[in-house]
Amino acid sequence: MKRAGSSVVASVTAVLISIIPTSGCTVANAQCDCAAPNISLHVPSTLVQPSNTLVASGAGCQGATATCTQKSGNGCLTFSIAPIASGNCHIDLTLPTHTFTTDIMIKRASGCCAGLYPDPVGAGEVQVTSLR
Protein backbone atom coordinates (compact mmCIF):
# COMPACT_ATOMS: atom_id res chain seq x y z
CA MET A 1 0.00 0.00 0.00
CA LYS A 2 2.75 2.43 0.79
CA ARG A 3 4.25 1.84 -2.63
CA ALA A 4 0.94 2.45 -4.38
CA GLY A 5 0.43 5.70 -2.43
CA SER A 6 3.94 6.88 -3.24
CA SER A 7 3.36 6.07 -6.88
CA VAL A 8 0.13 8.10 -6.91
CA VAL A 9 1.83 11.10 -5.30
CA ALA A 10 4.70 10.90 -7.78
CA SER A 11 2.25 10.67 -10.70
CA VAL A 12 0.20 13.65 -9.49
CA THR A 13 3.39 15.68 -8.97
CA ALA A 14 4.60 14.83 -12.49
CA VAL A 15 1.23 15.86 -13.96
CA LEU A 16 1.23 19.18 -12.06
CA ILE A 17 4.77 20.00 -13.13
CA SER A 18 3.96 19.23 -16.76
CA ILE A 19 0.97 21.60 -16.83
CA ILE A 20 2.67 24.61 -15.18
CA PRO A 21 3.49 27.09 -17.97
CA THR A 22 7.15 27.92 -18.43
CA SER A 23 6.76 31.11 -20.47
CA GLY A 24 5.78 33.44 -17.60
CA CYS A 25 7.62 36.48 -16.33
CA THR A 26 11.01 35.78 -14.82
CA VAL A 27 13.43 38.06 -13.06
CA ALA A 28 15.69 38.04 -16.12
CA ASN A 29 13.04 39.55 -18.40
CA ALA A 30 10.93 41.50 -15.91
CA GLN A 31 9.80 44.98 -16.97
CA CYS A 32 10.09 47.63 -14.28
CA ASP A 33 8.40 51.02 -14.26
CA CYS A 34 11.23 53.03 -12.73
CA ALA A 35 11.41 56.74 -12.02
CA ALA A 36 13.98 58.82 -13.89
CA PRO A 37 17.28 58.62 -11.99
CA ASN A 38 18.64 62.01 -13.08
CA ILE A 39 17.94 65.46 -11.72
CA SER A 40 16.57 67.81 -14.41
CA LEU A 41 16.63 71.58 -13.99
CA HIS A 42 14.24 73.38 -16.34
CA VAL A 43 15.24 77.00 -16.97
CA PRO A 44 12.63 79.51 -18.22
CA SER A 45 13.51 80.81 -21.70
CA THR A 46 13.68 84.36 -20.30
CA LEU A 47 16.63 83.32 -18.09
CA VAL A 48 18.60 81.30 -20.64
CA GLN A 49 22.04 82.81 -21.26
CA PRO A 50 25.31 81.32 -22.53
CA SER A 51 26.93 82.47 -19.28
CA ASN A 52 24.65 80.34 -17.05
CA THR A 53 26.74 77.88 -15.05
CA LEU A 54 25.64 74.95 -12.92
CA VAL A 55 27.67 73.54 -10.04
CA ALA A 56 26.60 70.41 -8.16
CA SER A 57 28.09 69.53 -4.77
CA GLY A 58 27.28 67.57 -1.63
CA ALA A 59 27.64 63.83 -1.07
CA GLY A 60 24.98 62.94 -3.68
CA CYS A 61 26.51 64.92 -6.55
CA GLN A 62 30.11 65.76 -5.64
CA GLY A 63 32.04 65.55 -8.92
CA ALA A 64 28.93 64.98 -11.06
CA THR A 65 28.85 66.78 -14.39
CA ALA A 66 25.79 68.68 -15.56
CA THR A 67 24.90 68.21 -19.21
CA CYS A 68 22.60 70.29 -21.37
CA THR A 69 19.80 68.07 -22.61
CA GLN A 70 17.72 70.82 -24.25
CA LYS A 71 19.44 73.80 -25.89
CA SER A 72 18.01 77.18 -26.73
CA GLY A 73 20.25 79.24 -28.97
CA ASN A 74 23.59 79.49 -27.15
CA GLY A 75 22.07 78.64 -23.77
CA CYS A 76 20.42 75.70 -22.06
CA LEU A 77 16.74 75.17 -21.23
CA THR A 78 17.26 71.86 -19.40
CA PHE A 79 20.29 70.67 -17.45
CA SER A 80 20.63 67.05 -16.32
CA ILE A 81 22.74 65.73 -13.44
CA ALA A 82 23.34 62.04 -12.68
CA PRO A 83 23.74 61.49 -8.91
CA ILE A 84 26.84 59.56 -7.86
CA ALA A 85 26.07 58.58 -4.25
CA SER A 86 23.43 58.66 -1.54
CA GLY A 87 23.12 61.95 0.32
CA ASN A 88 22.29 65.58 -0.33
CA CYS A 89 22.80 67.04 -3.79
CA HIS A 90 23.30 70.82 -3.56
CA ILE A 91 22.88 72.68 -6.86
CA ASP A 92 23.80 76.28 -7.65
CA LEU A 93 22.74 77.61 -11.05
CA THR A 94 24.25 81.02 -11.75
CA LEU A 95 21.86 83.13 -13.83
CA PRO A 96 22.26 86.70 -15.18
CA THR A 97 20.36 88.24 -12.25
CA HIS A 98 20.88 85.84 -9.35
CA THR A 99 21.90 82.33 -8.29
CA PHE A 100 19.18 79.70 -8.10
CA THR A 101 19.91 77.17 -5.34
CA THR A 102 18.23 73.89 -4.48
CA ASP A 103 18.96 70.79 -2.40
CA ILE A 104 17.73 67.33 -3.38
CA MET A 105 18.08 64.18 -1.31
CA ILE A 106 19.46 61.17 -3.20
CA LYS A 107 18.68 57.65 -1.96
CA ARG A 108 19.81 54.23 -3.15
CA ALA A 109 16.98 51.93 -4.19
CA SER A 110 17.21 48.15 -4.44
CA GLY A 111 15.13 45.56 -6.22
CA CYS A 112 13.83 45.88 -9.75
CA CYS A 113 14.69 49.61 -9.97
CA ALA A 114 18.05 49.46 -8.20
CA GLY A 115 20.14 52.62 -8.39
CA LEU A 116 20.36 56.19 -7.15
CA TYR A 117 17.19 58.31 -7.25
CA PRO A 118 16.00 61.73 -6.09
CA ASP A 119 13.74 61.35 -3.04
CA PRO A 120 10.82 61.73 -2.84
CA VAL A 121 9.72 60.60 -6.30
CA GLY A 122 9.38 63.66 -8.52
CA ALA A 123 11.93 65.72 -6.59
CA GLY A 124 14.35 65.40 -9.51
CA GLU A 125 12.17 67.60 -11.76
CA VAL A 126 13.12 71.15 -10.77
CA GLN A 127 11.56 74.29 -12.25
CA VAL A 128 14.06 77.12 -11.98
CA THR A 129 12.41 80.34 -10.88
CA SER A 130 13.35 83.94 -11.43
CA LEU A 131 12.98 84.63 -7.71
CA ARG A 132 16.10 85.24 -5.70
Q: What is the pTM of this model?
A: 0.72
The per-residue pLDDT string of the chain (132 residues; one tens digit each, 9 = 90 and over) reads: 444 554 433 433 333 333 333 333 345 556 888 888 999 999 999 999 999 999 999 999 999 999 999 999 889 999 999 999 999 999 999 998 899 999 999 999 999 999 999 999 899 999 998 765
* pLDDT score recorded for residue 18: 35
- Separation CA 66–CA 126 (nearest Å): 14
CB 87 within 8 A of CB 121: no
